[in-house]
Amino acid sequence: MIVAVFDTHRFDRASLEETNAGIGHELRFFEARLESKTAQLAAGCDAVCVFVNDVLDYATLSILQTLGVRLIALRCAGFNQVDLKAAQEFGLTVARVPEYSPYAVAEHAVALLLALNRKLPRAYNRVRESNFSLEGLVGFDLHGKTVGIVGTGKIGGVFARIMAGFGCRLLAYDPLPRADLPVAYVTAPQLLAESDIISLHVPLLAATHHFLNRETLAQTKRGCFIVNTSRGALIEAQALVDALKSGQLGGAALDVYEEEAGVFFHDLSGQLLQDDVLARLISFPNVLITSHQAFLTKEALINIAETTLGTISAFAAGIVPENVLVRL
């Protein structure tokens, strides 16, 4: 199969090429994100391979169909960027990588939480400048704190087990409770009211869009820490800024941001940041942001490459790929 790989970076190109060496698909790599303006790059390709910030809306999918593309292989778990109804209408098969390493994401959530709480970025920068002062570096013990986990699927489940190891009290909110986790399931309002730390591990759906908004942030325990390694639009960004400014929130550790597309994954260091809300978030001493890197471990990249190329090979052989979201 000839595959147009969009939003390519050195790290995913390397793992895809290495895995493809023994398979032999023709992979055409493009740095551009897939959107209606760039869809023509897929001319002559049977499939497109896309990531989290590509835009597969009605207009883009319509162009792909006209070009003769038949398969959309997502090299990620979340699929909120795809209009699945339109894909069905245009006869496009859509498949994803439902699980590549829940450990990668859950461990990054814990890394962010620890770094934010113990002020590691500040401490690191100080020591590099021979400033060995401890002023302003007071954190808190995680032991004994209440952690609210929103979504206890694969990643939330791993996160729960890690936090249990710290000696935290774990509350969880999920319409599909699991019996194998050390958590107490509660209602969303109870989780908001009792948690010292809230970590989001739900997919972005209509029901979860702006799960944390002006109203729900006001229901959190004062000084609560928010961790979001899931999808940016689970949090209303301006409401987050206001809750941090007022002290309602004690801190936010974010791997994702509502308007991250076109910003995250790119080196914009020579430019002026145009997003004022992001610029304000970056300016807070109690906010720590990484650029959607929670998935970025060697193990995850290999799993992503193997599953994605397995999907493409199955489709080429006329077999319905595993992990399909839209099957024709």
Q: Which of 229, 248, 307, 308 binds ligand NAI (CB under 6 A)?
A: 229
Is residue 35 part of the annotated active site? The answer reads no
> Which of helix, strand or coil describes residue 270?
coil
The C-alpha R_g of the chain, in whole angstroms, comes to: 21
Query: Which residue in this structure is represented by tokens 């590691």?
Result: 120
User: CB-wise, 19 or 152, nearer to ligand NAI?
Assistant: 152
Binding part of the chain for ligand NAI, among 55-63, 199-207, 214-222, 279-287 by CB under 6 A, reads: 199-207
Based on the shown chain and the rule CB under 6 A, indicate whether residue 230 belongs to the binding site for ligand NAI.
yes
CA angle 63, 69, 73 (to 5 degrees): 110
CA dihedral sign of residues 113, 103, 322, 46: positive
- Kindly state the smallest distance separating residue 168's Cβ from ligand NAI, in Å: 19
User: CB-wise, 225 or 295, nearer to ligand NAI?
Assistant: 295
Binding part of the chain for ligand NAI, among 84-92, 111-119, 203-211, 245-253 by CB under 6 A, reads: 203-211
Q: Which of 42, 61, 149, 155 binds ligand NAI (CB under 6 A)?
A: 155
Listing DSSP states for 46-108 in one string gives SEEEE-TT--B-HHHHHHHHHHT--EEEESSS--TTB-HHHHHHTT-EEE----S-HHHHHHH
Is residue 231 part of the annotated active site? The answer reads yes
Binding part of the chain for ligand NAI, among 66-74, 135-143, 227-235, 267-275 by CB under 6 A, reads: 227-235
Q: How many residues bind ligand NAI (CB under 6 A)?
A: 30
Sheet holding 2-5, edge to edge: 26-29, 2-5, 47-50, 71-74, 93-95, 324-326
Is residue 194 part of the annotated active site? The answer reads no
Q: What is the DSSP letter of 6?
A: -
Binding part of the chain for ligand NAI, among 84-92, 117-125, 229-237, 319-327 by CB under 6 A, reads: 229-237
Based on the shown chain and the rule CB under 6 A, indicate whether residue 152 belongs to the binding site for ligand NAI.
yes
- Kindly state the smallest distance separating residue 187's Cβ from ligand NAI, in Å: 11
Based on the shown chain and the rule CB under 6 A, indicate whether residue 38 belongs to the binding site for ligand NAI.
no
Cβ of 35: how many Cβ atoms within 10 Å?
19
Give dist(CA 93, CA 46) in Å, integer.
11
Q: Just list the catalytic residues.
A: 231, 260, 292
